[in-house]
Amino acid sequence: MAKGDSPLYAVVVVLHDSEAELAVLLDSVEACLAEQPQIIVVDSGSRDGGPDLAAERGAEVVALKGNPGFGAACNAGLERARHGVTVLLNPDCELLDASLTRLAALARAHPRALHSARLLNPDGSVQRSAHPLPGTAGSLLPAVVPAPLLPRALRERVEPYRAATARTVGWAIAACLAASTDTLRELGPFDPAVHLFAEDLELGLRARALEIPTILHPQLRIRHAGGHAVLRDGEPLELIARRRREAIEATRGRRAVALDDLGQALTFGTRAAAHAVLGGDAARARAQLTALVRTWGQPQRERPGGRIGGARRHG
C-alpha cells in the first residue's frame, strides 16, 4: 500500500509544560481509537515530566533546544511524519470518540484542504474555533448587528463555528487541524518566524491564497481546554492584536487590515457599552479595545525573506 493510501496517520503534539494535559489526551487516544496513530511529541522547553510521560506511553519524542515557538515545533514534528495524513493536535485536547480518525479520513479523501473538527469547551459548549475571512466589508456586520438577530444563514457566515453541516471557513484555530502531509509540508505548515499567536490565522489566510480552503466538520467533536500554556500569566492582548494585524496585512493587504481594525474596534466598543448598560463586566472588552488602538501606527517589523511580522508575503 502506498504511503498516501495508508489508513494510518500521524499526530503532532507540541508540549510546553503540558504534562497534566498530555496525560488526559493520551488516555483518551487509547480509549477512543481502535488503531493507534503515529504520535510525535515535540517538546519546546518543558520544565515538567511531559517528555518522559510521552516516551513512556510510546510516543516519538523530539526535544528542541529552548523554546523556538509553536509553529517551529509543529514543523519539526511534521518532518517525522511517516503517513500520508498528519493531524496537528494540542496537548490540551481530549478525544470523545473516533472523530480524530474520521477527520484524518476526510483529509485523505480531500488532500488539498485543511480540515478542522468542532471544538468543545470543557463544559460541552461550542468553542469559537472557526472564523470568517477577516478584513471584508461583510465582516463588519456582526460589529453593528448582534449575531443572534441575524438570519440563520448570515449568522453562520459571521459565526461559522455554529454551523450544523460541513462548510468552508476563513480560518480555524490549529488545536486540531488535519491535512495531507504533503499539503502541510508545502505550506510549512507554519512560518517559524511567528513565535506565538496568529500562526493559525496566518496559515489559514496563506493557504486560502493558494486555493487551499479550510473546512469545518461540525459532526466531528474534540474537547479543547484552551490557553493552557499561553494564558497562565493573563492575556497578552496587545501582542495578540499586533500579531493579528501583521498576519492580515501580509496575506491580504492594508485595506483588509483597515476593515478588520474597524470591525474589531466596533465589536469591542459595542461589547463594553452593552456590559456597562446591563451592569456586566466591561473590563475585558475595554482592555481589548485599548490594546488594539495601541497597535495602530506601530511600524511593521521587516524580516528577512520578505516577511513582515513573521508572515510570508505572497504576490
Taking only the tens place, the pLDDT of each residue in 141-185 is 888 888 888 888 889 999 999 999 999 999 999 999 999 999 999
**Per the confidence metrics, is the pTM higher than 0.95?**
no
pLDDT exceeds cutoff 80 at 303: no
CA atoms within 13 A on the CB side of 207: 33
Query: Is the pLDDT assigned to residue 250 strictly greater than 70?
Result: yes
Query: Could you give the CA distance from residue 306 to residue 199 in angstroms, rounded to a whole number?
Result: 17
CB 84 within 8 A of CB 6: yes
Collapsing DSSP states into helix, strand and coil, what is residue 17? Answer: coil
pLDDT tens per residue across span 9-48: 999 999 999 999 999 999 999 999 999 999 999 999 899 9
